[in-house]
Amino acid sequence: MKSLSNRRVLLGITGGIAAYKSAELTRLLTKAGAEVRVVMTQSATEFITPLTLQALSGNRVHTTLLDTEAEAGMGHIELARWPDLVLIAPTSANFIAKISEGKADDILSTVLLATKAPIAIAPAMNQAMWSNQATQQNLQTLQQRGIAIFGPGSGEQACGDVGLGRMLEPEQILAMSAALFDEGLLAGLRIVITAGPTQEAIDPVRYISNRSSGKMAYALATEAAQAGAQVTLISGPVALATPERVKRIDVISAQEMLEASIACAPACDVFIGVAAVADYRPAQFAEQKIKKSDDTMHLELTKNPDIITAIAALEKRPFTVGFAAETNSIEQHGAEKLARKKLDLLFANDANATLGSDSISATALWSKGSQALGPASKRSVALQMLTLIRTRYDARANHRD
């Protein structure tokens, strides 16, 4: 089945006994990696509670057209811009008639008129209502507008009738929804990326750090999410916005980054250590600001933990990718780091040319090969890197070098 990983699904629910299936559909969509927001008509709330859908989706459920909590009270416009797919399950005969006429008298029908996302409906109604000429004409209208129609199925209905009109099972709707999308390069992969510098406190106002803008890691996170991966970004202090569809964990010190990395690693498939982690930290932290009383200050440093080595040494280790920013003998130092830290793949680059820049050139190194990447923008090279990561990840999974 194609993947719904990282897709945004707006699930609409209309009034009907089949609404009870929407709870399981919400659970399955979320389990498949989709982010789900739910919109309910007022009649739908008579069959299943918004609280149930909120608990299963992890997001607030929308039931009213004018939203006082939304920007400018225009919640329906915000919702219409948000999804990759609008899925209405169940879709009643009344709602099919309403949207075929282009009406917008509640939040769900208004969202449908305002959205540019693909729309799919899963009809659910009595078999006589389904076969009625008016319903069939309304369905033809919707099909001509490009709306996908999932089902219905045939069988015994809640009223006791037997025939077409049952809403498809949640598993079927899930598969049909996924089939609407092209599968991305990294679909289904869970990727953790470390980013930026770490800051090691000397006293409450001073710290030591490495130079890093975080741009390369954020470019990788952006491209990975767009390629269908579920991305967690463990970020040191940077002046960059969180990429869309990326979970961000903010840390400051190397120890905090290590703890977050160890916590995330067991559940990920690929770990990419891009962060410029400070190699050392002050041996002692001064609780109060150190005064400038002398012309010189002696600072004792102690070594920080090596995060990428710790991840590569895990018993259940993810595919582990490192970065080496060097100032000389770049490929030689990179190859030594690859072997010493027992990494699956490493990208070595010239720190002098890369730090703070929007472009990069790098050399990819693995146990029996290498490949030059760039020079190009960090976004462009990030996609080249992810393509190679996918190739090497699949090779390891198939025991090929």
Catalytic machinery residues: 159
* Residues 6+ positions from 55 with CB-CB distance below 8 Å: none
* Residues 6+ positions from 113 with CB-CB distance below 8 Å: 102, 104
* Alpha-helix runs per DSSP H in 265-377: 307-312, 330-340, 351-354
Token pair 């919400």 is found at 26
Eight-state DSSP code of residue 87:
E
Whose CA is closest to 383, among 229, 214, 233?
Answer: 229
- 187-219 exposure pattern, b = at least 16 Cβ within 10 A, e = fewer: bbbbbbbbbbbbbbebeeeebbbbebbbbbbbb
* Residues 6+ positions from 11 with CB-CB distance below 8 Å: 22, 25, 26, 29, 36, 37, 38, 39, 53, 57, 87, 88, 89
